[in-house]
Structure 1
C-alpha cells in the first residue's frame, strides 16, 4: 500500500458523510486539506473515487468498491481498539509459561493460584516440556515465561530467583539393610545398588552426571525414569537409590519413610526461578512480573 493511511481515513469519512464539510468537522481538519488528500489518493490510484455536485459528493462505482474494503479495515481496527481497552480494564491477557512437570507441580502451582485469584480474567497457557525446550522457546519469544534452574549459559535472558534446591540420593532403610546384608556392610552403594536417575535428556540429570564424574562415582546399574514423581515413588517402595530434590521429599525424610545417603561431597545447590526475554513487552508478562515483586 503506497498511500498514507491518513488518506484512506479521510476518504472513508468523506464517503460516510457524503459531504466534505461534515467530514472536515469530524476529522478536525480544513476542507481544502480534505480535498487535497482525496485528490492525491485519486491521482495515485489513477481513477476517480467521487463525483462532486452542489449537494455534496457521491461515490463512483470504483469508489464503492474501495469504500467496502476501507469500511471493513477501519471497523476491524475499531474492534481491535475495543479489545485492547477491554484487556486494560479487566486485566485480560495471555500469559504463556514453559515448565517441567516437576517444577509445575511443586513450585509453579502455588504461584499460579495466587496470581489467578488476583487476575481472574487472565488467560494462562502452560507448556509442559523439558528445560532445554523452555529455554529455546524463550529465546525465540514463543513463550513469555519459563520456570527453570538458573540458565548459566543464557545471558540474553533475565532471571528472577525463587528458591534454592538441593539434589540428594535417598532410599528406604529396608533397601539399604538388604543391600548391606547381600553385599556386605562395606559395599559401595553406587557400584552394587540400583541407582535411579532421571533420563539423560533432563537438565537435572546433566547436573548430577557432572557431579558424579567430578567425584569419581560410576554407577554399575542405572534405572532411568522420566519424571521426578516416579523417582520418589520408586524409592518409597524400595526399588533402589534415587536422586531426588530434597525439598520435594522433606516430609518423607522427616517421617523416616526415606533416608538420605551420605555423600563425601554434596551436590552443588541450584537456583530455581522465572526466566524471560527482556525485550518481551507483553502486558500479561509485565503483570506477572509486578505480581512477583
Structure 2
C-alpha cells in the first residue's frame, strides 16, 4: 500500500460515497472500486460494504480508516521536516497553543516573525493546555505554548508568570467571598485544582456560583458588567482597566501564580526553521 491508498481510505471514510471520492480524487469509479478491493486483499480484511445509505465501513474498516488519517499526517510531517532540516528561513512550523496565548500573545509574535521570515508557513492547533501538552508530547507539533505545571520530558522555556487574582467591579473583602456571587468559567483541570485547593485552605463553605460560562473572555465581560466576581490569571485584565484586583496568597503567604511555558523536544532543533523560531521567541523577552 502507498500513500494514495491511505488517501482513498481517508476520503471514503469522510464522504461514504464512491462517487464523491472519485470526484474529489479524480479517479474513475471502476478504477476506485478495483483499488479498494486490492487494499482489502493486501490487508486481508473487508473494509466496506454497500448498504441502504451508501458505503458502510466494517469494524475493521473503521479502525483502518482512522489510522489512515494519522498516517497521512505523518507523511505530510515527514515531507515538511525533510525540507526544514537545512533551511532556517523557509518551511512549515507546527504549533500547539493554549486558547489564551493564541488570542492575546501569538498574533503579534507571528507578525514580527513573518516580517523577518516571510517564507515560513504555520500550522496552528489551539485548545486547552492539556491538549497542547498532548499534541507536542505525541510530536504532532514542533512547539507548544501552554499554561501550568505539566510534567514535560523535553526542553521548556518560561515565557511569563501571572498572579491569580479576584476581579470585581465592586470593592469586596476576601472573607466574604462565599456569600458573593461568583462567575465560573471552563478551564484546564490543573488550574481549576489550584484554585480549588486555595479555596479549601481559606473557607469551610463552597463558593456561591451564580453563573458558569465556557470561556475566560466571556467571564471577564460578565465581571466588567458587575454580575459577580471571578478568580482569574492577571493577564486577562490590563493594568489600565478599571476593575478591583486582589492578588491571592497561599497559607505560606506566597503569591498564587501560574506560569506559561514554551515546550519542545531538543531533537526538533535539528530542523533549522524550528530552531530559528525558538531563538526568536526567546530573544523577545
Q: TM-score, normalised by structure 1?
A: 0.59
Question: What is the root-mean-square deviation in Å for CA atoms of aligned residues?
Answer: 2.8
Give the structure with higher Rg (CA): 1
1:164 aligned onto 2:152: no
Q: 1:187 to 1:212 in 2, by over 3 A?
A: closer
Cα separation, 2, equivalents of 1:93 and 1:147: 20
Larger CA deviation: 92-101 vs 222-231: 222-231
CA deviation profile, 1:190-220 (whole Å, cap 9, x unmatched)? 2222212332545432322222233336313
Aligned counterpart, 1:288:
277
Task: Report the CA distance between 1:96 and its aligned residue.
Answer: 1.1
Contact residue 198 and residue 225 of structure 1 kept, 8 A = yes
Aligned counterpart, 1:189:
176
- 1:117-156 aligned within 5 A: 117-154=115-152, 156=153
Structure 2 unaligned blocks of 5 or more: 1-78
Q: 1:262 to 1:107 in 2, by over 3 A?
A: closer
Task: Report the CA distance between 1:239 and its aligned residue.
Answer: 1.0
Q: 1:98 to 1:109 in 2, by over 3 A?
A: same
Aligned counterpart, 2:196:
209
Query: Where is the strand percentage greater, Structure 1 or Structure 2?
Result: 2
Cα separation, 2, equivalents of 1:100 and 1:236: 23
Aligned counterpart, 2:63:
none
Structure 1 unaligned blocks of 5 or more: 1-79, 178-185
Q: 1:197 to 1:187 in 2, by over 3 A?
A: closer
Question: How many residues are paired up?
Answer: 197
Cα separation, 2, equivalents of 1:195 and 1:162: 30
